[in-house]
Amino acid sequence: MNLFTILRHHVATQPNAIASRSSRRVVTYRKFWSRIERATARLKSEWHVKAGDTVVYWGQGHQDALMFYIAVARCGAKLLPLEHAPLHQESIAILKNIPAVLLLHDDETIFEVPPAAPVIANLSSLIAIRCHHTPPVSEDITQPSLISLLALEDGSLQASEQSLQQLMENATPYIESNIAQEFRIAEALFDTDIFTPHVLPVLASGGTIIFR
């Protein structure tokens, strides 16, 4: 299953269906995909994110983070989600071992010490300004596109990469079981027990992800 193709199909067949909503805004599938395209253009043309690069999301369960991840995957890059306080506390060691080219954070985030990334910007800036470039996009779903940090018994952290193709294959049983058409994000978006079994199936079915 190709998530990019599925989302474009939703745009063509149900453009006004709600892809995500929160207290901030309601986003139709047409607008959702438009923002993904705008974000992809900014990532590639202005921040020069290339296939294989790592970009960081620093925040927790923001509505725009979902669009950010899909845009990153279209670039063939890897998203490193730092959504929990222990990961924020370990960020110096994490970013030393996994260098990132870009870090986007929730708008209300205040850093005592800025993380070690060459570019740090608000998540909202990803779509706040329209990029007038239309860079070529390969949309290779086999590229590693997500890094999950797993805490080991000795207290160390291990990074696990998965391509969007692998994530969609893992989500297939949940998609085929006709999961509910809505899912509410309580805190983190990218936890392994949230993203694959709930978020991806709802998107695949044309349902709605609800954010705080």
**pLDDT value of position 191:** 92
Domain ranges of the chain: 3-210
Cα–Cα–Cα angle for 146, 151, 163, rounded to 5 degrees: 15
Which residues, including other chains, have CB under 8 Å from residue 15's CB and lie 6 or more apart? 28, 29, 30
Token pair belonging to 5 = 């193709």
Q: Is the pLDDT of residue 156 over 80?
A: no
Say whether pLDDT at 151 is over 80.
no
Could you tell me what percent of the chain has a pLDDT over 70?
93
* Helices within 75-124 (DSSP H only): 85-89, 91-97
Residue that is written with structure tokens 């692998």 in the block: 166
pLDDT at 154: 64
How many helices (H) does the chain have, and how many strands (E)?
Answer: 8, 10
> Residue 199: pLDDT band by 50, 70, 90 thresholds?
very high
pLDDT in tens, 70-126: 999 999 999 999 999 989 998 998 999 899 999 999 999 999 889 999 999 999 988
pLDDT at 8 over 90: yes
Instruction: Give the distance from CA 63 to its chain's centroid.
Output: 10
User: What number is the average pLDDT over the span 3-15?
Assistant: 97
Q: Which fold has domain 3-210?
A: Rossmann fold (3.40.50)
* Angle made by CA atoms 71, 73, 74, in degrees to the nearest 5: 65
Q: Could you give the C-alpha distances from 150 to 87, 116, 117, 153, 165, in angstroms and in order? A: 10, 21, 21, 10, 20
In angstroms and rounded to an integer, the radius of gyration of the C-alpha atoms of the chain is 16
CB 61 within 8 A of CB 189: yes
And the tokens for 188? 């983190």
Evaluate if residue 155 carries a pLDDT over 70: no
Extended beta strands in the chain, E state? 18-21, 26-28, 54-58, 78-82, 102-105, 120-122, 144-151, 157-163, 182-184, 208-210
Q: What's the pLDDT band for 145 if we cut at 50, 70, 90?
A: confident
Mean pLDDT, the chain, as a whole number? 91
Average pLDDT over residues 6-20: 98
